[in-house]
Structure 1
Amino acid sequence: MALAATSVKVPTISCLNHGSLTSTSRSTIHNKRAVHVSSRAFLCGAKISDVKPVRVSSANRQRRHCQIRSEKTLDELDAEFGIEDSLKIVNGKGGMKRVVLSHYNGSSAEVYLYGACVTSWTQPHGSEVLFMRPDAVFDGEKPISGGIPLCFPQFGPGVMQQHGFARNSMWDIISTSADVNPDYPEPAVTLKLSDNEYTRSMWDHSFEALYEVTLRRGGLQTQLRVQNTGSDTLDFTAALHSYIGVLDSASPSVVVKGMKGKEYLDKVPDPNNPERKVEDRESVTFGHGLVDSVYLDTDPEALLDVGTGCMVAIENTTGFTDHVVWNPHETMPACWQDFVCVESAKVGSPVILGPGEEWIGELSLSTFDL
């Protein structure tokens, strides 16, 4: 059953073996699919990063497209990028455009063009994995609170606004696709953000960021690809700020595993001057107070027991080296017991890119029964 975006407690994720992953089948999230490069992108004057392999849809539903600005009407976008039974572009909350991905197994995901924010990922039996905060607004001005906000080019506080500008910028669709095997389509959308007057007012660098969201049989995969398109070296930090719904974060059964022995930055005493510590617990719990920890150089996989007999795996498959664990406790009384954030991050040491260089950070989310 899905979490409601209110302060009322409701049951959350339950795997029930309906399309959930076992330790064996979870490896399928990394299966490669056939790809093709669109020659049409060159006709648009695209850069090399624009013509990364574009996945194609099944049967007669191929999609090989150049960048289409989000100023296009909803009908135009859906006609250009929609894939029958797999992907559609529709109006979301506040009249904002969103992409809906539908998998043949019954799972689904939603991505807003504003902020490239993934706001929903449901299991085949309908259970919602992600959590949307009750104070989330969809007005095209404030970042969307909940789901998977994209933090770039800064994580946390710093010289620019909190968590950077990516989460309150409008992204453009540059491609959509589904698997070439008509029996097992895996829908994907790739969004793009380039430097503009707004971004340069905070971060005076030329860049291109591509964000691909793929709904797989075994889970949800997201990939952030950043290229330095300028003549100067740039550096940044980044994170995928995953809000995951839990039964009750105050419960001792809701825990994060996989951090024992890892060095971490405890931001609770002072977010601007965090204390360095080493985690000595087998499991991180949340009932005792605010948790705001940046675990450095972690193992690829962090595990969150959501308290329903289901585990969510948050895996850094490429690029991301850290995990951030956050729960606001009573500083957010309306909903702190309804979610835990376990984030894929590159925070401990920034990414440094010379002219023309590229960085890729990839997150895979999956669920399995305990």
Structure 2
Amino acid sequence: MPLNIFQDTDGLPRIILTERNGSSAQVLQYGGQVVSWKNERKEELLFMSSKANWKQPKAIKGGISICFPQFGNVGSLEQYGSKNRLWSLDPDPSPLPPSENQSSVDLILKSTYEDLKTWQRSFELRLRITLSAGKLILIPRIRNTDNKPLSFTFALCNYLSVSDISEVRVEGLETLDYFDNLMNRTRFTEQADAITFDGEMNRIYLHTPTKIAIIDHEKKRTFVLRKNGMPDAVVWNPWDKKAKALSDLGDEDYKTMICLDSAAIETPIILKPCEEWRGHQELSTVSSSYCSGQLDPCKVLYGFH
């Protein structure tokens, strides 16, 4: 399926992916960021801040973005460096499996002279984004093109659109250890049977399962996140006070968003020269079914293949 690429009103190259059932996705070459994912009913599934800054070189708050070579501010490395770069179409992507009902784009980001001055490491970061009926798949690959070991942390930051954050449940993280970023990364063990929201949350869950469910009671819709190669998961919502303090987030935006990241944070990934790391993330939506307010976990966490 040929790529539809155009310049939007902000001058950013934008790639449109469509599939025959009517769903669509939009990807910016700036940041390699997915800024829209709509289902076959044209409903937007991703959250985008009402005050998102679309002017370079600022990162755009919302959608799905890549955090590399680090998650958070560490030393002299630029926070979320891959978000602030213009990616290229990959001239030599790996072959796609045959399918008539999907649309894909392959992007690549290579280290620059400026990167080498700051990080003194060279790399190639590739990203394949594939849209099919009811699914959005992201496959990041990082190759060490240096003659020294390459160490990094990584995250796919997923801003998902929900009807009301106070009615949302996240299932699949119960009993796990997590770092609480609101308490200087103190380590705790999750005691609740599901994650619910009644205030600011910023946690890094460790050794998470390959499937996590985000249940939106009001919309009777569940996001299912499947991931490999990224053992951690970040759960974030700023709530009201933090939302008002963030210049690129609307005061009321926190009510209709949840950020659930696929990540490798606790243990950095280390690549030998010429070695490559590969991750995999699949987002899908299913209709929720309830019994006393509980999602049937057999249907969502285990029953979908």
TM-score > 0.5, shorter chain as reference: yes
Q: Secondary structure at the match of 1:225?
A: strand
Determine the C-alpha separation between the residues in 1 that align with 2:142 and 2:237: 28
Q: Count matched residues.
A: 277
Determine the C-alpha separation between the residues in 2 that align with 1:315 and 1:93: 34
Write 1 or 2 for the structure with the bigger share of strand. 2
Counterpart in 1 of 2:41? 125
Residues 39 and 134 in structure 2, CA contact (< 8 A), matched pair in contact too? no
Q: Tell me which amino acid in the other structure corresponds to 1:168.
A: N
Counterpart in 2 of 1:260? 174
Q: 1:192-221: per-residue Cα shift (whole Å, max 9, x none)?
A: 011102322332101101011000123000
Kindly report which structure 2 residues correspond to 1:168-247, keeping only aligned pairs within 5 A, or say none. Answer: 168-174=84-90, 180-181=98-99, 184-247=100-163
Determine the C-alpha separation between the residues in 2 that align with 1:304 and 1:119: 20
Determine the C-alpha separation between the residues in 1 that align with 2:9 and 2:178: 37
Counterpart in 2 of 1:94? 10
Counterpart in 2 of 1:285? 196
Query: Is residue 279 of structure 2 the alignment partner of residue 368 of structure 1?
Result: no
Shift of 1:92: 2.2
Shift of 1:314: 1.3
Residues 178 and 186 in structure 1, CA contact (< 8 A), matched pair in contact too? no
Counterpart in 2 of 1:108? 24
Query: Is residue 267 of structure 2 the alignment partner of residue 349 of structure 1?
Result: yes
Counterpart in 2 of 1:155? 71
Residues 322 and 345 in structure 1, CA contact (< 8 A), matched pair in contact too? yes
Q: Secondary structure at the match of 1:130?
A: coil
Q: Secondary structure at the match of 2:118?
A: coil
Residues 116 and 150 in structure 1, CA contact (< 8 A), matched pair in contact too? yes
Q: Secondary structure at the match of 2:52?
A: coil
Q: 1:293 to 1:162 in 2, by over 3 A?
A: farther
Counterpart in 1 of 2:300? none
Counterpart in 2 of 1:141? 57
Counterpart in 2 of 1:339? 257
Determine the C-alpha separation between the residues in 2 that align with 1:315 and 1:169: 27
Determine the C-alpha separation between the residues in 1 that align with 2:118 and 2:187: 29
Shift of 1:90: 1.1
Shift of 1:265: 0.5
Q: Secondary structure at the match of 2:114?
A: helix
Counterpart in 1 of 2:291? none
CA RMSD of aligned residues (A): 1.6
Q: Secondary structure at the match of 2:183?
A: coil
Determine the C-alpha separation between the residues in 2 that align with 1:115 and 1:174: 14
Q: Tell me which amino acid in the other structure corresponds to 2:220.
A: G
Residues 220 and 365 in structure 1, CA contact (< 8 A), matched pair in contact too? yes
Instruction: Give ranges in structure 2 of 5+ residues lacking alignment.
Output: 245-250, 289-305
Shift of 1:93: 4.2
Shift of 1:278: 0.6
Q: Tell me which amino acid in the other structure corresponds to 1:286.
A: F
Kindly report which structure 2 residues correspond to 1:23-42, keeping only aligned pairs within 5 A, or say none. Answer: none
Shift of 1:179: 6.9
Determine the C-alpha separation between the residues in 2 that align with 1:265 and 1:116: 28
Q: Percent identity?
A: 33
Determine the C-alpha separation between the residues in 1 that align with 2:169 and 2:77: 31
Residues 21 and 40 in structure 2, CA contact (< 8 A), matched pair in contact too? yes
Q: 1:228-277: per-residue Cα shift (whole Å, max 9, x none)?
A: 0110001000001100011111x2x211111111111011122xxx0001
